[in-house]
A and B are shown apart, each in its own frame.
Chain A
Amino acid sequence: MRQWSGQRAWLLQRISALVLLAAVLAGGCWLLLAGARPGWPSWRAFAAHPAGASVLLLVVGALAVHAWVGVRDVLLDYVHRPGLRLSLLALLGMGLAFVWVRTLLVLAGPMWR
């Protein structure tokens, strides 16, 4: 793959899409089994467990990667001024990184324990 490869982003978008699809299906199954409203204790137990927290973090990570590739495509299509495009891409990247780090802090931190 070259430096400014388009293929890398395209693959990442497909892979993150599959991860998210699996998460949506799993989440959907859980909702159906729990009668459209899972109870708080089971939700809390899932997020507190290291495995559950890791899964959630992975899913939010996949969400961030997927959103990065998707919104970046929109910017590449419509924003033609290089300076503006770079600034918007940087903002996007920082915003998504911020969301992921905050999620990590929520899951790892004592805020709700």
Chain B
Amino acid sequence: MDARARWRSTDDRAAALHRAGTAARPRFLNLAAIRFPVGAIVSIGHRLSGLALAALLPFVPAALAASLHSEQAYEALWSAWNSPWAMPAEFIAVWAFLHHVLAGMRHLLMDIGIGARLPQARASAFGVLAAAFLLALGLVALRRLG
């Protein structure tokens, strides 16, 4: 048996012992008791916003078709967003979109090493959280009041 195979068989023996010896062992995974860093908040926001945006995808072809069908349909699509009822939905959609795009850009930059060190990563995480929220507030307010 060569060296690598011997390593792996140690693993198998350990795994067998492990399976034999473990009854139901609890795991501590109470997320509320864990103090998450800012990067983790941005990350879960990135995931949730991504899922929210993906849920909107089925509406894209229909909206596209409607927007091209006639001038009335096009105008109706735009004015649907003006009603006060639509404001929370509009804010959530814009916030999710901005957070996802800004957090995504942060990821792309970290992929090539920009801002990957811990202090810079923390700063950019704060920046993304703040910018997404404030820009969303600003854009929605601007559109409704301007």
Chain A residues proximal to chain B, CB less than 8 Å: 14, 17-18, 21, 24, 36-37, 40, 43-44, 47, 56, 60, 63-64, 67, 70-71, 74, 95-96, 99, 102-103, 105-107, 111-112
B37 within 8 A of A: no
Answer yes or no: B21 CB below 8 A from chain A CBs: no
Contact B69 A40 (CB under 8 A): no
Instruction: Indicate if B143 sits at the interface (CB-CB under 8 A).
Output: yes
Alpha-carbon distance between A21 and B97 when the two chains are bound, in angstroms? 12
Q: B: which residues have CB within 8 A of A? A: 47, 50-51, 53-54, 57-58, 60-62, 64-65, 67-71, 74-75, 78, 101, 104-105, 108, 111, 143, 146
Give the contacting residue for A37; candidates B57, B64, B71, B78; CB below 8 A: B78
Are A36 and B67 within 8 A (Cβ)? no
- The count of A-to-B residue pairs whose CB atoms sit within 8 angstroms is 62
Main secondary structure of the interface of A (DSSP, over half): helix
* In the complex, residue of chain A having the shortest beta-carbon distance to the beta carbon of B69: A112
Complex CA distance for A11 and B64, rounded to whole angstroms: 28
- Chain A residues, Cβ within 8 Å of B68: 43-44, 47, 106, 111-112
Complex alpha-carbon distance, A82 and B57, angstroms:
26
- Contact indicator A71/B54 (Cβ below 8 Å): yes
Question: Which residues of chain B are near A21, meaning CB under 8 Å?
Answer: 101, 104-105
Question: In the complex, which residues of chain A have a beta carbon less than 8 angstroms from the beta carbon of B71?
Answer: 40
- Closest residue to A92 on the B side, CB-wise? B54
How many Å lie between the Cα of A36 and that of B140 in the bound state? Answer: 12
A77 to B74, alpha carbons, bound, how many Å?
40
What's the least CB distance linking B58 to chain A, in Å? Answer: 6
**Shortest Cβ gap from B57 to chain A (Å):** 5
